[in-house]
Structure 1
Amino acid sequence: MAFPNLYTHRKVAETKARSCDICFKLSSSVLITPDNKDWFYVCPAHLKDPLFCTPKIDQAAIEARKKLELEAEIERVKKEYEEKQRKKKEKQEEGEKKEDAAEDKKDKDNKPGEDSQKTLDKKEAGKDDATPSPVEEEEPRVFELKNIFYQQRINKKRQAEIARRNRERMQDPTFFPSVPKNLPS
């Protein structure tokens, strides 16, 4: 009859929303036990309330997320380094071109406006590529109810089971006593 005090948070469609068991507002969030013996609708605000439930943190998931973030950071730093090296190389090439241009300036006109525009476009394109995508914080999915609320859930399930048994007994024709067949003496 008893079920574990571990509930998984799940979302249902907005059309399937029902009233929260705590505050009776419409909610599409459901807390459900792993064996599907107990479930109830609850507002997401209640999940953040430390007096209602506490999140169970999965250490393996946290380690995996940290590792993923670290790899993303390493990749971002590598890209920045490569960009700096490329810019440094471009500056050296521009310096060489300027020396050559100074010598050739006497012979023909140079259009520096077009070159500066091209370098600005390259810098803007580099900035767009270098921006890291924001990592979304995941909300905890597994919760443990506080003892008061957990006992309320157990009592509610127990009462529902008793009511079900009583309904079954009422359907049984042998439940009620039969009419006496002998005449009284």
Structure 2
Amino acid sequence: MAFPNVYTHRKVAETKPASCDICFKLSSSVLITSDNKDWFYICPSHLKDTGFCIPMIDRAAIEERKKQELEAEIERVKQEYEEKQKKKKDKASADSAKKDEADGKKNKEDKSGEKADKTQDKTEPTQGEGTEPSSVDDEEPRVFELKNTFYQQRLNRKRQAEIAKRHRERMKDPNLFPSVPKNLPS
């Protein structure tokens, strides 16, 4: 009969909202237990209230996500570094080939080539800077634990509903009430 005090936040269709259990405003957010024994509509603002519920944060998942983001960032930086080293080698081989051709022409071409390379180097890092990983703290938690008073209210409401159901079933049973006496009184 009892259910765990672990609720998952889910959204329902915006066209089918129902009243919040706390403030009775229309809401499309639902808190539901993992075994689907209990669920109720709730406003998203109540989920941020620490007097109502506590978000349960999965520390292992957060650490794993941070680790993956760090590895991706390291890989990106390594690729950028390798590209720059490759450009430097290409430039050095091109410079040595130009030295052999002509000293007078080399000075003019080097200056214009360096200016072009500098402008290309400046544009490349800005492409990677725009893709910053999203912060884990910005995400809304999905799993909550109700405060003890609200959890007890949910348990009491479930118990009362089961008692009412049993009572209705008993009332439908014809053997519940006494029957009319069949013998005449003597």
Report TM bin, short chain: 0.7 to 0.9
Per-residue deviation at 1:78? Answer: 2.2
Per-residue deviation at 1:133? Answer: 3.6
Q: CA RMSD in A?
A: 3.3
1:42 paired to 2:53: no
Partner of 1:64, secondary structure, is helix
CA distance in 1 between partners of 2:177 and 2:53 (Å): 45
Contact between 1:8 and 1:141, CA under 8 Å: does it hold in 2?
yes
Per-residue deviation at 1:36? Answer: 1.0
Per-residue deviation at 1:89? Answer: 5.5
Per-residue deviation at 1:60? Answer: 2.2
Contact between 1:55 and 1:140, CA under 8 Å: does it hold in 2?
yes
Counterpart in the other structure of 2:175: 174
Identity of aligned residues (%): 66
Matched positions, count: 182
Per-residue deviation at 1:92? Answer: 5.7
TM-score by length of 1: 0.77
Per-residue deviation at 1:37? Answer: 0.8
Q: Could you tell me which amino acid in structure 2 is paired with residue 20 of structure 1?
A: C
Counterpart in the other structure of 2:69: 69
Matches within 5 A, 1:8-47: 8-47=8-47
Counterpart in the other structure of 1:3: 3
Q: Could you tell me which amino acid in structure 2 is paired with residue 71 of structure 1?
A: E
5+ residue gaps, structure 1: none
1:147 paired to 2:162: no
The 10-residue stretch of structure 1 (149-158 or 68-77) with the greater mean CA deviation from structure 2: 68-77
CA distance in 1 between partners of 2:165 and 2:62 (Å): 43
Counterpart in the other structure of 1:128: 127
What are the Cα deviations for residues 87-124 of structure 1, in whole angstroms up to 9, with x where unaligned? Answer: 6567767977997787138xxx98x9899678646743
What are the Cα deviations for residues 131-157 of structure 1, in whole angstroms up to 9, with x where unaligned? Answer: 324325332221111000000000000
TM-score by length of 2: 0.77
Contact between 1:80 and 1:130, CA under 8 Å: does it hold in 2?
no
Contact between 2:69 and 2:133, CA under 8 Å: does it hold in 1?
no
Q: Could you tell me which amino acid in structure 1 is paired with residue 41 of structure 2?
A: Y
Counterpart in the other structure of 1:157: 158
5+ residue gaps, structure 2: none
Partner of 1:61, secondary structure, is helix
CA distance in 2 between partners of 1:11 and 1:147 (Å): 24
CA distance in 2 between partners of 1:101 and 1:126 (Å): 34
Contact between 2:53 and 2:145, CA under 8 Å: does it hold in 1?
yes
Contact between 1:18 and 1:27, CA under 8 Å: does it hold in 2?
yes
The 10-residue stretch of structure 1 (95-104 or 171-180) with the greater mean CA deviation from structure 2: 95-104
Per-residue deviation at 1:67? Answer: 1.1
CA distance in 2 between partners of 1:131 and 1:71 (Å): 18
CA distance in 1 between partners of 2:130 and 2:46 (Å): 36
CA distance in 2 between partners of 1:134 and 1:172 (Å): 64
Per-residue deviation at 1:35? Answer: 1.1
Partner of 1:15, secondary structure, is coil
